[in-house]
Structure 1
């Protein structure tokens, strides 16, 4: 029997989706006519932004993105979409754990535990659904036996409207600015069609190792989820001081404490480097945007930066779940890495990173970009 189809489920995914959809607030009040106008405008800006990403990055993949789609969603739909992706990533490993240790749970305990964990995850996603502006999800088609295909770009319309009103910025400029960032992630995966499966394989290997060595996996999942909410709440309420690295006994929560095997630590290091690369590259593209593309871009940057919303809450939750919260600074490292490589060998030289998995930077190379340049292109100075 397929382990993922075991009758014992550690997370009730359906309940997670239903809980998130029920608890997610609707966002700013808009008439049906206003909703239609926002949806049409966001779709137009999403389409227009691709040409700018192509011009800045030089990636030919931006010319044809038919393997993925753009969806304008509300908070409930975003939450359900993320439940599907979490199920696709974590479901197989959790299914094997349930199959191997199902007798230890008992039917009533398993039913109760999966419901509690599902409700916890749904509550977390409901909270996050009010924060995220956009997200490229490369794993969407993998859930529940979906035919492998491209991902989908989700633009959360009520949140974009809410933030542009809060910041007092030009709606058209802000929407294009958001779309530029998110479309960059979409182009990354189109330029590297192997990247989704590469990430999925590594996340799966890491999760399986943790499942095999962690008896209280469900407890760790819930604790990590709760920790993510607490961390996000502190950041939302503490202003610039919240950017400081966390310390103390809770600075490495989640599953990181369970990772002792050298191979698992190597996988964690690799995932950290890849995640940093993707976000750093998107930030470099955003820095290349000037007033000729977004007339009020300086105002948007200043006000958005002051708001302290650089980092997507979903990605923050994932990092918290994996125990990477203490490495948040790696995103700035990723941006510095991309900028340094582009200065040395140009954007065309940097684009070798998308050619094959071996060209991805290591975590060390993020801090020593010339080592990556020498390894991949054979160019650059000898000093690291």
Structure 2
């Protein structure tokens, strides 16, 4: 609304392998994104302060039921969530992206390289500004940097206020419902610290160009176009921007993308499962919230917004929620939550792409 080192890279190597990190002026990206972010919905000081206080309390209150349902309890003290506005989310997102891509501030030499870093920063900032008006919350496992990673739960209060008004639901219930989802992500990563390494290693492999020549990329793109014309590409690999991205990647990058997509599908589906499992006991109006929220997800967007959302992967994200929840629901229904939690053992016990669609295959392989 998120063990084994699959990328084969140690943390100390990432700065050299992730050329993306040094190609973006992250401070410029944060500044541009903050300026371009849409104004918050009009609210009184009382409403704003009440929402901030209630979201902070809801994030604390959600922790215990989430731990009880998931059986993931690292025993640590419940950390405070950070309640922020849209520009603050943009700044937090750029810091996280900087860590994920192994980049400090741009070290590019010369005016041309510096200009390119600012252009990339402006593009990144514009994308984050668009996203900042829609995201309700986020657990950032990379907060604090790779060396001092502490993780942080962020809740974007203007967006929570805007959506609860749009859905015409009880604010206190909706705020707790949102927190159930985001706190699940916090529990996932805090109970399984290797997940953040798995994610960052996959990102390292995904953004490593491996010295590829432009001609090789263009050749693969041509093969993709021909396959599309002949109807040979599979539905999973040909849909929208993901299919195009896979088309221009070498095999190591494709495998890294698959790992990230599967992990995202699992994390989001698990959080959706937990929301529904916990919801009736602690959120009195959960049925109404779920129905109206799902209707909102499915409603048609204006053409330009649909194009932007597709390019930014929003449709793929919604697909992750749906497919991931079906997978988790089916596995938990067949073997129970305790045996399902074998999935968090290491990278080898995570589902393979085909197993997301056929949960029994994961059960047969892992359990």
TM-score over 0.5 (shorter chain): yes
CA–CA distance in structure 1, aligned partners of residues 113 and 71 of structure 2? 51
The answer for the alignment partner of 1:155 in structure 2 is 155
TM-score by length of 2: 0.79
Say if 2:85 is the partner of 1:71: no
CA–CA distance in structure 2, aligned partners of residues 203 and 183 of structure 1? 23
The answer for the alignment partner of 1:212 in structure 2 is 211
| CA drift at 1:304 | 1.0
Q: Structure 1 residue aligned with 2:351, among 361, 366, 370?
A: 361
SS of 1:139's equivalent? Answer: coil
C-alpha spacing 1:31/1:290, structure 2 compared with 1 (3 Å) = closer
On the 8 A contact 2:34/2:87 being kept in 1, the answer is yes
Cα shift readout 1:197-230 (whole Å, capped 9, x = no counterpart) = 111011111211x3633669xxxxxxxxxxxxxx
Q: Which runs of 5+ in 2 are unaligned?
A: 1-14, 216-234, 300-307
The answer for the alignment partner of 1:242 in structure 2 is none
C-alpha spacing 1:58/1:91, structure 2 compared with 1 (3 Å) = closer
CA–CA distance in structure 1, aligned partners of residues 241 and 17 of structure 2? 32
CA–CA distance in structure 2, aligned partners of residues 277 and 77 of structure 1? 28
Which aligned pairs between 1:203-352 and structure 2 lie closer than 5 A?
203-208=203-208, 210=209, 212-213=211-212, 251-252=241-242, 255-261=245-251, 263-308=252-297, 329-352=319-342
On the 8 A contact 2:59/2:80 being kept in 1, the answer is no
On the 8 A contact 1:4/1:93 being kept in 2, the answer is no
| CA drift at 1:3 | 5.2
Q: Which runs of 5+ in 1 are unaligned?
A: 217-244, 311-316, 378-384
Root mean square deviation, CA, Å: 3.3
Cα shift readout 1:275-318 (whole Å, capped 9, x = no counterpart) = 111011111112213443111111111111111179xxxxxx99
The answer for the alignment partner of 2:46 in structure 1 is 33
Aligned length: 325
TM-score by length of 1: 0.75
| CA drift at 1:248 | 8.9
Which aligned pairs between 1:106-185 and structure 2 lie closer than 5 A?
107-142=110-145, 147-185=147-185
CA–CA distance in structure 1, aligned partners of residues 81 and 128 of structure 2? 20
Which aligned pairs between 1:28-107 and structure 2 lie closer than 5 A?
28-61=41-74, 63-65=75-77, 69-92=80-103, 107=110
The answer for the alignment partner of 2:6 in structure 1 is none
CA–CA distance in structure 2, aligned partners of residues 188 and 123 of structure 1? 30
CA–CA distance in structure 1, aligned partners of residues 115 and 263 of structure 2? 37
SS of 1:136's equivalent? Answer: strand
